[in-house]
Amino acid sequence: MIPLFASSLKPYHDRLSDAIDRVARSGRYILGPEVEAFEEEFASYLGVRHCVGVANGTDAITIALLALGVGPDDEVVMPSFTFYATAEAALVLGARPVFCDIDLDTFCVTPDTVRAALSPRTKAIVPVDLFGNVAPIPALRELGVPVVEDAAQAAGAALGGTPAGALADVATFSFFPSKNLPCLGDGGAIATDDDELAERARILRFHGSKDKVTFTDVGYNSRLDEMQAAVLRVLLPELDGWTERRRAVAAAYERLGLGQHAMLPKATEGAEHAYHLYMVRSERELPMGRGYYRTPVHRQPAVRSGAELPATEEAARTNFALPMGTDLSEEQVRQVVEECASGST
Ligand SMILES: Cc1ncc(COP(=O)(O)O)c(C=O)c1O
């Protein structure tokens, strides 16, 4: 059986154990030197001034929106074709997600779909770099509303040579174990060039306090912990090599003829896809395939927006994730293609 997520941390187990052991013996477990070092290393990898480690990718979006001043009744434009957390992050602030459609080929929002959803109440746009592709962020920034890039699925991707996570006013990451840059539990980060926004995010991740004595805001207890930061410091240097392997798997799917049996994913113009998931579209059920977001966010019971989003509906109905990961062999790719061929006319 070929796993859908074909990546293993086995080769890194000894180094991860050493890192965890170092933290266990250090006596510093929360907001210590490992978090500080990881924040510097990840900021430097992305080429941004600041990285703020937080507890998970959902909190990262909430805190980024709150740092931008988003609050009750503000509108936040975002895709419905995404993981529920993108919308939830705005909903917990009392803000109103306004759902826009996507481009079927890239699975991402476009300047036109976002523009159609803007109103005078729009306080932020949250494009999602879905499945490891990159949304057309530079064009979205021209719409004149702050952009929060949900890069949870896109560590290692780039657009026009700039890393995903360095394209918007502020970007957010998840280090959930299945992500392209994983930790061994929950973890997340906020990345920005904006000094003030970074400072606000630091305050908001620690109960609304700068000095742990005076509490100026109602914030969150949302910190990346020392162990996860130490783990991320071991794995971050591997990210570019892993991304190359994912791209090689995607190239093999194309070379071995998968395009005859399903519609292959397209990178946004100028983007270097990181293939968090290898997502094709097909009218018929694909063996080994798994559908994502079959009920898009705008139709979830907690949301129930009346938005009409034809491309979102079609993507939700016809997408299939096929096995992808750093450890997938050419032989396994061939097997997947053969399985997809069986039953195709
Ligand atoms: C697009 C997207 N946004 C946000 C999140 C939330 O991240 P986390 O699970 O770390 O809270 C995820 C991941 O699960 C995601 O895929």
Q: Confidence band (pLDDT; 50, 70, 90) for 344?
A: low
Report field, pTM of the whole predicted structure over 0.95:
yes
pLDDT (tens digit per residue) in 197-250: 999 999 999 999 999 999 999 999 999 999 999 999 999 999 999 999 999 999
Reading the block at residue 310, the tokens are 């034809």
pLDDT (tens digit per residue) in 261-283: 999 999 999 999 999 999 999 99
DSSP summary character for residue 213: S
pLDDT above 80: residue 345: no
Angle between helices 57-67 and 195-205 (to 10 degrees): 120
Pocket test for ligand 1, best of 81, 83, 148, 279 (most atoms within 8 A of CB): 83
pLDDT (tens digit per residue) in 124-162: 999 999 999 999 999 999 999 999 999 999 999 999 999
171 and 190 in contact (C-beta within 8 Å)? yes
Q: Which atom of ligand 1 is nearest to the CA of 59?
A: 11
Provide mean pLDDT across the span 325-338: 97
pLDDT (tens digit per residue) in 12-69: 999 999 999 999 999 999 999 999 999 999 999 999 999 999 999 999 999 999 999 9
pLDDT value, residue 190: 99
Provide mean pLDDT across the span 184-205: 98
Q: Which atom of ligand 1 is nearest to the CA of 128?
A: 1
How many residues can be counted in the chain?
A: 345
Q: Which atom of ligand 1 is nearest to the CA of 129?
A: 1
58 lines ligand 1 (CB under 6 A): yes
Q: How far is the CA of 207 from the centre of ligand 1 (A)?
A: 22
164 and 151 in contact (C-beta within 8 Å)? yes
pLDDT (tens digit per residue) in 68-117: 999 999 999 999 999 999 999 999 999 999 999 999 999 999 999 999 99
56 lines ligand 1 (CB under 6 A): yes
pLDDT value, residue 1: 87
Reading the block at residue 269, the tokens are 């113009």
Q: How far is the CA of 59 from the centre of ligand 1 (A)?
A: 9
pLDDT (tens digit per residue) in 333-342: 999 999 999 8
Reading the block at residue 311, the tokens are 């491309």
Q: How far is the CA of 289 from the centre of ligand 1 (A)?
A: 21
Reading the block at residue 217, the tokens are 């805001």
Q: Which atom of ligand 1 is nearest to the CA of 153?
A: 16
Buried b (16+ CB within 10 A) or exposed e, 71-93: eeebbbbbbbbbbbbbbbbbeeb
pLDDT value, residue 342: 87
Q: How far is the CA of 331 from the centre of ligand 1 (A)?
A: 31
Q: Give, in degrees to the nearest 5, the angle at Cα 167 between 40 and 102.
A: 135
Q: Give, in degrees to the nearest 5, the angle at Cα 168 between 176 and 141.
A: 140
DSSP summary character for residue 80: S
CA 15 to chain centroid = 26
131 lines ligand 1 (CB under 6 A): no
CA distances to 80, 117, 326 from 319, in Å: 15, 24, 22
Helices (H) and strands (E) in the chain, counts: 11, 12
* Rounded distance between C-alpha atoms, residue 236 and residue 38, angstroms: 9
125 lines ligand 1 (CB under 6 A): no
